[in-house]
Structure 1
Amino acid sequence: MKAAQVTAYGEAPQPIEIEAPGEPGPYGASVAGPAEIVEVLVAGLNPVDLAIASGKFDAGAPPLPYVPGIEGIGRMADGEVVWFEGAHFPWGSMAERAVITEGSGITLPAGIEPEKAIAFGTAGMAAWLSVDWRGQLKDGETVLILGASGSVGQVAVQAARMLGAGRVVGMARSQAGREKVLALGADAAIGSDGDLGEIRDRIFEATEGGQDLVIDGLWGKPAAAALQAMKPQGRLVQVGNSAGIESPVVAGPLRGGAVSILGFRNFWAPRDVRVATFERMCSLAGSGDLKLEVEVLPLEDVTEAWDRQSKSPGHKLALKPGGG
């Protein structure tokens, strides 16, 4: 089967032909445990894929070689099309076949194509649940989105608006990114340049006195500045590995302002919450009320896609075994 393969930590995967799961050969072997084989229709590319391939991922690295890709949309043996996250290495989603935990897929709702729905899998789910389930946004609260022009950030801006935020502010590095954030419904968009004090003052001004909730996809100085601009009982949600592998702790604001830093990963949410959230986002996307651009490339272009992901492309990248 066609696949991408990581053969050395810290290097981009390369396209290759290998045995499919369950077929004879080193890669085929037997599929152990309560697992299912899925025909991949489209595979998502996410920051966590790069983190895993670096060999420094906090949850550990799979043995080499392996097929990367934690998420995808595929067809099960019974014909059902599902979104899945958490593929079983060495059979990740960037191949014609992947292995997933039995019963873990979420049915793709009618009315949306896989190439569009993949935006609202790992990235969309992380954004929406960080605002709603983990961040516990309350009506009228002020929300600051760090890294707002990225895939997670764009959905988070829209989610905050739809879920009742009183004011939404997005932070993005480039002017084009800030314009995109405003077009998605943010009340203000600010840059991430400058020293800690400059960023903090910019946040105070844009949020009109500080924020209740921060969705963090940047870390570093922006997060430290945001903590200094937090309202009492404020929450900062760090989204998976979108902010990088290492995360410094800024203790002063935690002690002095009664604020909280909350980690988040999609699988922490109960399955029924994830199912309902995916269905809701797909419905909103189908009606045009929730937007995130997806660029689908052929699987053969995985090395190029990997390089572009490392440079924060500003939209969702995905790979298709059958071509882009």
Structure 2
Amino acid sequence: MKAIVCKKYGSPDVLELKEVEKPFPTENQLLVKVHAASLNFGNLVLLKGKPFLARFAFGLTKPKYSIPGGDIAGTVEAVGKNVKLFKVGDEVFGDLSVCGWGGFAEYVTVPENTLALKPNNISFEEAAAVPMAGVTALQGLRDKGKIKAGHKVLIYGASGGVGTFAVQIAKAFGAEVTGICSTRNVEILRSIGADHIIDYTKEDFAQHKDCYDLVLGVNGSNSLSAYKSVLKQNGNFVHVGGSEAQLYQTLLLGPFISMTGSKKISSLLQRANQKDLHAVKELLESSKVKPIIDKGFKLSEITEAFNYFQEGHAQGKVVLTI
């Protein structure tokens, strides 16, 4: 089978399209024929080995997982004898980041507790755009952010992969949502239901003092003090992504700020799980959430796909058709 192979950390140029041995499922696995996959920030970390702390999980001197790719959608081609939840021919989607990655390939073997049945109302490309970003948005809002109906929620980086899901999921929870983006992305936020939009090229969000119950920081390099200033008393700031400086501020200063005041600062480490994937699947099936895809590439165009993705200006998700 064809697969993308990464033997060393570096730029997208180190990725190679190669012929490799087709995997065979164990008694507890499924073999999935992959129709589509998508790119996430975790793919960049696995490619570059940055931030350095990530190497303790992904391999200290070279990538632990030679075939990258987390999010997939495809068709079950074979099942191990102990598999109970799926059968040959089922259309499935899921996040492989907790079971060895390997999604940038024509076939992959997967434990059954990693997948869910693909919603019938979306394509394979749309399904592949969902798992990591959708579950990240859900966990950030629900688990870390303690979102409730009527909350005023601010999402910084609202037009990207996680951000577009966060806007829609927050609306599904009954929140009043403000999205922050650049001028070129205003219409996208309108189309997915944002109640208010702040164009950061024209307005400083930090002027909105004490306005929000929950702030989700998906991208950017803003200081913690700026985020803290727009929180109401007992409000929550959840760091999902952004600059390394912002991450370290959150990890080092967040616990102290949270202990010494009423405003809470925390960082989300997303963990894929089947229950949350099913929760996002229900939102997709009810059309409360729809994947936003910016651009598609072929598997052979993996270098171009990563170069485009790492520019950081994608409107929604970048998808590979396999």
TM above 0.5, yes or no, is yes
Q: Equivalent residue for 1:124?
A: 134
Q: Equivalent residue for 2:309?
A: 309
Q: Equivalent residue for 1:182?
A: 190
Q: Is the 8 A contact 2:43 2:68 kept in 1?
A: yes
1:258 matched to 2:269: no
Q: Deviations over 1:134-184 (max 9, x none)?
A: 42211211100010111211121122222111x321112x21123432343
1:43 matched to 2:37: yes
Q: Equivalent residue for 1:210?
A: 211
Equivalent AA in structure 2 for residue 157 of structure 1: V
Alignment of 1:222-233 (within 5 A): 223-233=224-234
Q: Equivalent residue for 1:298?
A: 298
1:115 matched to 2:109: no
TM-score (norm: length of structure 1): 0.80
Residue 70 of structure 1 deviates from its aligned partner by 1.2
Q: Equivalent residue for 2:280?
A: 277
1:53 matched to 2:63: no
Q: Equivalent residue for 1:6?
A: 6
Find the aligned partners of 2:100 and 2:145 in 1 and give their Cα distance: 33
Find the aligned partners of 2:131 and 2:221 in 1 and give their Cα distance: 26
Find the aligned partners of 2:169 and 2:101 in 1 and give their Cα distance: 32
Equivalent of 2:93 in 72, 76, 83: 83
Q: Deviations over 1:64-105 (max 9, x none)?
A: 471111111122212222112125777610111123234321
Q: Is the 8 A contact 1:9 1:53 kept in 2?
A: yes
Q: Equivalent residue for 2:319?
A: 318
Find the aligned partners of 1:88 and 1:164 in 2 and give their Cα distance: 31
Find the aligned partners of 2:157 and 2:34 in 1 and give their Cα distance: 30
Change (3 A) 1:185 1:90: closer
1:70 matched to 2:70: yes
TM-score (norm: length of structure 2): 0.81
Q: Deviations over 1:277-321 (max 9, x none)?
A: 223224316xxx635235321101110010111012122111122
Q: Equivalent residue for 2:84?
A: none
Identical residues among aligned pairs (%): 26
Equivalent AA in structure 2 for residue 243 of structure 1: G
Find the aligned partners of 2:27 and 2:263 in 1 and give their Cα distance: 42
Q: Deviations over 1:117-148 (max 9, x none)?
A: 22322112222332234422112111000101
Q: Equivalent residue for 1:101?
A: 111
Change (3 A) 1:192 1:279: same
Equivalent of 1:168 in 172, 177, 194: 177
Equivalent AA in structure 1 for residue 43 of structure 2: D
Change (3 A) 1:20 1:222: farther
Residue ranges of structure 2 left out of the alignment (5+ in a row): 79-87
Change (3 A) 1:110 1:265: farther
Q: Equivalent residue for 1:200?
A: 206
Find the aligned partners of 2:122 and 2:196 in 1 and give their Cα distance: 31
Equivalent AA in structure 2 for residue 184 of structure 1: I
Change (3 A) 1:4 1:282: farther
Q: Deviations over 1:191-232 (max 9, x none)?
A: 44699xx5421x33xxxx421111111253155411122111
Equivalent AA in structure 2 for residue 61 of structure 1: F
Three-state SS of the structure 1 residue aligned to 2:122 is coil
Equivalent AA in structure 2 for residue 92 of structure 1: G
Equivalent AA in structure 2 for residue 18 of structure 1: E
Residue ranges of structure 1 left out of the alignment (5+ in a row): 24-30
